[in-house]
């Protein structure tokens, strides 16, 4: 197994895990309970880590992580209600209008 990602935010590690698993890359999270050791251990040693099982997929995993870790783009304004919507969403949360193409 190889470590491919780590973060002090456990939800970020689990998000990347979900993205990799959606691409068929088996992985596991380690160390997510080490935050209790901060102060006794260096903080970076207490970060949650993501490890892939198949080492031959390292290059593919790194490429996927690189793309998943990038911002989704610029926010957009809903034509239906003028609500400002974050770029990763394709539909307005307020009125369900779809983002224009």
Residues 27 and 60 in one domain: yes
Residues 50 and 19 in one domain: yes
Mean pLDDT value across residues 8-34: 92
User: What is the C-alpha separation between 16 and 94, in angstroms, rounded?
Assistant: 28
pTM for the structure as a whole: 0.65
The yes-or-no verdict on residue 26 having pLDDT over 90 is: yes
Residues 29 and 64 in one domain: yes
Residue 16 belongs to domain with CATH number: 3.30.70
Total structural domains in the chain? 2
Nearest CA-CA partner of 29 in 19, 16, 44, 39: 16
Residues 61 and 89 in one domain: no
Q: What is the pLDDT of residues 68-101, one digit of tens each?
A: 766 667 899 999 999 999 888 889 999 999 998 7
Domain that holds residue 30: 2-68
């Amino acid at each position: 197994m190889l470590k491919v990602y780590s973060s002090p935010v456990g939800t970020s590690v689990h998000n990347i895990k979900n993205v990799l698993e959606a691409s068929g890359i088996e992985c596991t999270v380690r160390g997510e309970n080490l935050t209790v050791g901060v102060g006794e251990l260096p903080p970076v040693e207490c970060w949650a880590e993501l490890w892939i099982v198949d080492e031959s997929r390292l290059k593919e995993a790194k490429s996927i992580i690189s793309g998943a870790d990038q911002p989704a783009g610029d926010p957009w304004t809903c034509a239906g209600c003028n609500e400002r919507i974050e770029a990763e969403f394709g539909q307005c949360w307020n009125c369900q209008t779809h983002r224009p193409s």
